Amino acid sequence: MSSLPKIAWIGLGIMGSPMSENLVRAGYDVTGFTLEQDKLDRLTAAGGAAAASIADAVRDADVVITMVPASPQVEAIAYGPDGVLANARPGTLLVDMSSITPQTSVDLAKAAADKGIRVLDAPVSGGEAGAIEAVLSIMVGGDQADFDRAEPIFDVLGRTVVLCGPHGSGQTVKAANQLIVAVNIQACAEAVVFLEKSGVDLKAALDVLNGGLAGSTVLTRKKDAFLARDFTPGFRIDLHHKDMGIVTDAARAVGAALPVGAVVAQLVASLRAQGDGGLDHSALLRSVERLSGARL
């Protein structure tokens, strides 16, 4: 029997599957629940266990981790008779690693406290590759004591783990992260179309750009996608659209102007409206190509 905390993992998608498998490999006892049977089978094959419901998954857990698309899914999983708050034991730590609105995290922490359940918001950055390689950045909101309890788990999943402040702070930092990433991808996409139309060897150009001040993790991770026009997700445009909504709303609430972010939010929304919501966010290149009358 492992002396490590027993983990319930809800949401085994692009991120949740490799992250939960990293915990299994580190010796944790992980019971998963998600909507797709093949993802449950994948966890079982990796050495975890599959639960038939959220209630079954969380009943004996010390730590419950959620990694689902957005606020409505987090609320559906937390609240209601079959949810985490109704079925987890008092003292359980609920760590939501999804990217959601800061207010949802604040409200959840309050509702959970009434049941003796502790909450951290702990969204991540680093993408699917970061999840697989266990090098995620994890931005955490909540109390120091709960952070200390979760830190060994975070250390298995990521490389840069920071408590940013009270409940919701992790989500606010993640919103800023998504602003920076979207603007960076857009700038790279504009450079790609400009370089190609100018007749420069694109691979050579991106290699040298990435070695200078224009270099970035975005360019390193997305260079091949740009070159091959391979927009297999990765991080879906649908999810980045959700995140641009979060950051523009949160910025308006505090009176911060995001002029460039607002334009890129519109470009992400337009790509989605044209049917590209299921593609990786590097597909922002497609929108620059359309605007430039270039190849698609």
Q: How far is the CB of 290 from ligand NAD (least distance, A)?
A: 24
Q: What does the block give as tokens for 143?
A: 């109390």
Q: Closest Cα partner for 33 from 102, 108, 86, 83?
A: 83
Q: Which is nearer to ligand NAD, 134 or 193 (CB)?
A: 134
What region, left, alpha or beta, does residue 206 occupy, with left being phi > 0 and alpha being psi -120 to 50 degrees?
alpha
Annotated catalytic residue: which of 39, 110, 174, 222?
Answer: 174
Q: What does the block give as tokens for 74?
A: 């987090």
CB atoms within 10 A of CB 254: 7
Q: How far is the CB of 217 from ligand NAD (least distance, A)?
A: 12
Q: Which residue is nearest to ligand NAD (CB)?
A: 13
Q: Which is nearer to ligand NAD, 128 or 196 (CB)?
A: 128
Please give the distance of CA 200 from its chain centroid, rounded to a whole number: 35
Q: Which is nearer to ligand NAD, 15 or 283 (CB)?
A: 15
- Whether residue 222 lies in the annotated active site: no
Given the rule CB under 6 A, which residues bind ligand NAD?
A: 10-16, 33-36, 39, 67-70, 73, 76-77, 98-99, 124-125, 127-128, 234-235, 239
DSSP state of 281: G
Q: How far is the CB of 32 from ligand NAD (least distance, A)?
A: 9
Tell me how far apart the alpha carbons of residues 158 and 168 are, in angstroms, rounded to a whole number: 20
Please report, as a single letter, which amino acid is at residue 242.
Answer: K
Q: How far is the CB of 43 from ligand NAD (least distance, A)?
A: 11
Burial grade of 294 (CB within 10 A; 0-12, 13-18, 19 or more): middle
- Contacts for 263 with CB less than 8 Å, ≥ 6 apart: none
Q: Which is nearer to ligand NAD, 152 or 278 (CB)?
A: 278
Contact 184, 176 (CB under 8 A): no
User: Alpha helices, DSSP H only, in the chain?
Assistant: 16-25, 37-46, 54-58, 71-78, 84-87, 102-113, 127-133, 144-157, 169-197, 202-210, 217-228, 237-254, 259-271, 284-292
Tell me how far apart the alpha carbons of residues 108 and 200 are, in angstroms, rounded to a whole number: 52
Burial grade of 26 (CB within 10 A; 0-12, 13-18, 19 or more): middle
Q: How far is the CB of 37 from ligand NAD (least distance, A)?
A: 10
Q: Which is nearer to ligand NAD, 15 or 193 (CB)?
A: 15
Termini Cα distance of the chain: 55
Q: How far is the CB of 295 from ligand NAD (least distance, A)?
A: 27
Q: Which is nearer to ligand NAD, 131 or 193 (CB)?
A: 131
Active site positions, annotated: 174
